């Protein structure tokens, strides 16, 4: 939750596009370190991020 607040406060002043995608990307990267199934979710997230961009 701290990471979400940090990146949301970082993106708003600079008006970075797709800031939510950036937040979720870092969330899944950190989640991958603590879970073996995290790599599967991260790979599926990358496909979604590519389709959104």
Q: What does the pLDDT read at residue 42?
A: 54
User: 32 is written with which tokens?
Assistant: 């991958």
- Residue 37 pLDDT greater than 60, yes or no: no
pTM of the model: 0.28
- b/e code 18-51 from CB counts within 10 Å (16+ = b): eeeebbbbebbeebbeeeeebeeebeebeeeeee
Best CA proximity match to 22, nearest among 33, 11, 34, 37: 11
Contact 21, 49 (CB under 8 A): yes
* Percent of the residues in the chain that have a pLDDT greater than 70, as a whole number: 15
Q: What does the pLDDT read at residue 32?
A: 65
Helices 2-14, 19-34: crossing angle, 10 deg rounding: 150
Region 34-49: what's the mean pLDDT? 55
């Amino acid at each position: 939750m701290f990471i979400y607040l940090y990146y949301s406060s970082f993106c708003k002043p600079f008006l970075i596009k797709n800031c939510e995608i950036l937040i979720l990307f870092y969330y899944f990267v950190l989640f991958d370190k603590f879970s073996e199934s995290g790599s599967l979710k991260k790979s599926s997230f990358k496909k979604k991020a590519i389709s959104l961009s």
